[in-house]
Amino acid sequence: MKVSAILFRYRMVINMVIIVLGFWAPWIQYGGIGSHILLLEWLALEIARAGLLSFTAATPILIVGGALVAAVGAILRVWGSAWLGHGVVLDPRMQAGALTADGPFRYVRNPLYLGLGFMFAALALLMPATGALFVMIAGPLFLFILIRGEEAFLTAQFGDPYRVYLQAVPRLIPRLRTTVAPSGNKPHWLQGVLSEINPIGVFVTIAFLSWTYDTQLMWRAIAVTFGLSLVVRAFMPGLKLAANSPE
């Protein structure tokens, strides 16, 4: 449990390190393993070599597919954050103030982690192929470790009500129908959007900047949105207090 709490506390840093390593792929420069060709280009080349589509046809299809994956990730992250609240999403500690079973949490237990997994997959298109492989292994593995740690923590805190929830709602593959009744809570959509600027920025980058085929521009755009997300998150507690104060 202590290890899980430490990993949870530094989850943003660890996720960032995984993504940075995927983009950097130091094993290419220092170990000669793989090449710097982006996964997007590598997949398009392989599709062309297989005779399925030409390179010029495969590339835009992959870009559109990547944009759709990024969109799903951003939607899940915003939807989950809006219902869970930015205070819980951003808190470095595991929390068990109340059992959240509203919004996306009625259909899947971990919409935020599922959204992050989609974001990993979308970002992988802009990484060297070996870096993408690293991220698609290390990223989901780390998320699975976090999920197991949270489940153990919440089971200890809530007991049987949480065990019932575990049986009713799948871990990562959403159900189209749910038997979980809403508890009547309301989503905070503005806070959800502000909490998830980075996933939204990933979608915008892939959907609109991939067509430039300018790798450096796309990397800079993702870095800028990540930095902007950190700034906004730093000010969000103050924004919440201001919104709740009387005029």
Q: Could you tell me which of 128, 122, 110, 107 has the C-alpha nearest to residue 39?
A: 128
- Which range is least confidently modeled, 45-49, 91-95, 123-127? 91-95
246 conformational bin, left if phi > 0, alpha if psi -120 to 50, beta if neither:
beta
- 195-227 pLDDT, tens per residue? 999 999 999 999 999 999 999 999 999 999 999
Summary mean pLDDT of the chain: 88
Alpha-carbon gap, residue 161 to 159, rounded angstroms:
6
Q: Is pLDDT of 247 > 90?
A: no
Q: How far apart are CA 18 and CA 16, in angstroms?
A: 5
The predicted structure's pLDDT at residue 4: 77
Q: How confident is the model at residue 134, as a pLDDT?
A: 98
Distance of CA 63 to the CA centre of its chain: 18
pLDDT tens per residue, range 91-117? 545 554 456 678 999 999 999 999 999
Which tokens hold the place of 34? 């793989």
- 131-184 pLDDT per residue, tens: 999 999 999 999 999 999 999 988 988 899 889 999 999 999 999 888 888 877
Looking at the chain, how many residues does it have? 247
pLDDT over threshold 50, residue 193: yes
> Does residue 238 register a pLDDT over 80?
no
Domains defined for the chain, CATH in brackets: 2-238 (1.20.120)
Tell me, what's the pLDDT at 91? Answer: 52
Written as six digits, the tokens of 106 are 């009625």
Closest CA to 186 of 85, 107, 108: 85
Distance CA 23, CA 83 (A): 32
What is the share, in percent, of the chain residues with pLDDT greater than 90? 71
- pLDDT over 70 percentage in the chain: 88
pLDDT of residue 233: 82
**Between these two residues, 5 and 174, which has the higher pLDDT value?**
174
User: Which stretch, 19-23, 156-160, 231-235, has highest mean pLDDT?
Assistant: 19-23
Best-predicted range by mean pLDDT (9-13, 120-124, 214-218): 120-124
